[in-house]
């Protein structure tokens, strides 16, 4: 089995320093890999000392000494949470760019407002406000939004692109199935409103990635310390599949969950490249989608690629199962802007699923190169 490839160390370091929020998250881990490989000095925000140390350790074999540092911000929804770190760095080497990925991403929240909406919305506006007040040299803030801010189920458009906006309401946001998608819409709207109302020196770009698969976050611990609870939300279905959860344990029958509501995916490494390219591309929204997928198609790929390794006691029997994706009846997506202006060449589903499974198996065996 191929080991997860380490990014190459950059030959020369750039001067433009980047602040990356949510550094231990799934998407951020890949953004950080791309930043390091491209020679950017980076300060990442993490929620605890332990997470910061873990992150540095995971980068030790390819980041240049001192290229990555961390700052602790336990909760981005605290007003002025970013002031201290921004002020400290402003004095010697100020930030040129900020990439804001931190935001709660789970399937449900006990307290929709405090656990999700506040950190997503206020976390974004407080960060923008601090940069506006304290960092005259920041040129661009790239915000990880989501396709959730674009799609409008159940009343879908025929074709979605960057001009599309979700119509989810604040009232719906209180219902668990709508909280996360509402948090992304309201957070992104708040960012564009901030720009309009305050006319700051910096500009913003948003990456509106859809359901994202790909190798696990580098900063997860491996070996005995690896805990499945740390697998990020969007990779969780692949984790479940390779741990026998799409197969009834007693009868052995396949029980593949419905793919709805989202049948589009993108690889996390393409999302990371989009964030980097958006540092210098026009300041606007970028919808990023690699293609359509279904749970059946994922199961089929895993069976073809890992059937022998995982065995028939784990994987569902696909004979007689139906694919719930109906291409002819499905809405379409137009990602020509991200291809043209960010230069993204999207990976296909097979590559994305294969590399995700490889990384999961290696993390479990404790052989991941982190």
Is residue 112 within the footprint of ligand NAP (CB under 6 A)?
A: no
Binding ligand NAP (rule: CB under 6 A), the pick from 63, 76, 150, 360 is 76
Looking at the Cβ atoms of 247 and 275, the one nearer to ligand NAP is 275
Burial call 79-99: b when 16+ CB within 10 Å, e when fewer: eebbeebbeebeeeeebbbbb
Is residue 77 within the footprint of ligand NAP (CB under 6 A)?
A: yes
Looking at the Cβ atoms of 76 and 98, the one nearer to ligand NAP is 76
Looking at the Cβ atoms of 96 and 122, the one nearer to ligand NAP is 122
Selected range binding ligand NAP among 61-69, 73-81, 124-132, 194-202, rule: CB under 6 A? 73-81
Is residue 186 within the footprint of ligand NAP (CB under 6 A)?
A: no
Looking at the Cβ atoms of 40 and 105, the one nearer to ligand NAP is 105
Spatial contact of 107 and 148, defined as CB atoms under 8 Å apart? no
Binding ligand NAP (rule: CB under 6 A), the pick from 105, 126, 226, 306 is 105
Angle at 232 between CA 229 and CA 234, to 5 degrees: 130
Nearest residue to the partner ligand NAP, using Cβ: 25
Looking at the Cβ atoms of 137 and 165, the one nearer to ligand NAP is 165
With contacts defined by CB under 6 A, how many residues of the chain interact with ligand NAP? 26
User: Closest Cα to residue 288, out of 6, 14, 30, 21?
Assistant: 30
Spell out the alpha helix ranges (H) of the chain: 26-37, 49-59, 83-91, 118-134, 170-173, 176-198, 236-241, 268-277, 295-310, 336-342, 349-365
The DSSP output letter for 247 is B
Is residue 285 within the footprint of ligand NAP (CB under 6 A)?
A: no
Is residue 124 within the footprint of ligand NAP (CB under 6 A)?
A: no
Beta bridge partners of 254: 247
Distances from the Cα of 360 to the Cα of 34, 139, 240, 281, angstroms: 20, 37, 11, 33
Selected range binding ligand NAP among 101-109, 194-202, 290-298, 358-366, rule: CB under 6 A? 101-109
Distances from the Cα of 224 to the Cα of 52, 242, 366, angstroms: 19, 19, 7
Which chain residues interact with ligand NAP by CB under 6 A?
22, 24-28, 47, 51, 73, 75-77, 101-105, 119, 144, 146, 184, 209, 211-212, 232, 234
């Amino acid at each position: 089995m191929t080991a997860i490839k380490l990014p190459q160390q950059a030959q020369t370091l750039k001067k433009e320093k980047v602040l990356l929020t949510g550094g231990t998250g799934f998407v951020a881990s890949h953004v950080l890999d791309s930043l390091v490989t491209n020679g950017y000095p980076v300060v990442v925000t993490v929620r605890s000392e332990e997470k910061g140390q873990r992150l540095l350790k995971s980068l030790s074999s390819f980041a240049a000494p001192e290229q990555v540092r961390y700052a602790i911000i336990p909760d981005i929804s605290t007003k002025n949470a970013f002031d201290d770190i921004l002020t400290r760095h402003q004095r010697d080497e100020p930030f040129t760019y900020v990439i804001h990925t931190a935001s709660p991403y789970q399937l449900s929240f006990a307290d929709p407002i405090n656990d999700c909406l506040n950190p997503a919305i206020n976390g974004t506006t407080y960060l923008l406000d601090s940069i506006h007040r304290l960092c005259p040299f920041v040129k661009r803030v790239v915000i990880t939004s989501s396709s959730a801010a674009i799609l409008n189920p159940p009343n879908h458009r025929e074709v979605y692109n960057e001009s599309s906006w979700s119509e989810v309401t604040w009232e719906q946001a209180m219902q668990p199935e709508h909280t996360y998608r509402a948090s992304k819409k309201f957070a992104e709207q708040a960012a564009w409103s901030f720009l309009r109302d305050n006319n700051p020196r910096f500009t913003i770009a948003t990456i509106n990635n859809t359901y994202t698969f790909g190798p696990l976050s580098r900063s997860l611990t491996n070996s005995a310390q690896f805990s499945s609870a740390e697998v990020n939300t969007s990779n969780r279905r692949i984790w479940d599949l390779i741990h026998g959860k799409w197969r009834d344990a007693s009868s052995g029958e396949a029980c593949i969950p419905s793919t709805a509501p989202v049948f589009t995916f993108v690889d996390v490494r393409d999302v990371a490249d989009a964030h980097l390219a958006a540092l210098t591309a026009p300041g606007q929204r970028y919808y990023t989608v690699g293609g359509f997928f279904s749970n059946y198609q994922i199961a089929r790929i895993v069976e073809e690629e890992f059937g022998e390794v995982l065995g028939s006691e784990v994987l569902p029997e696909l004979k007689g199962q139906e694919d719930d994706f109906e291409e002819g009846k499905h809405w379409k997506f137009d990602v020509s802007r991200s291809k043209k202006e960010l230069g993204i060449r999207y990976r296909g589903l097979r590559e994305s699923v294969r590399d995700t499974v490889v990384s999961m198996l290696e993390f479990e065996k404790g052989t991941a190169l982190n």
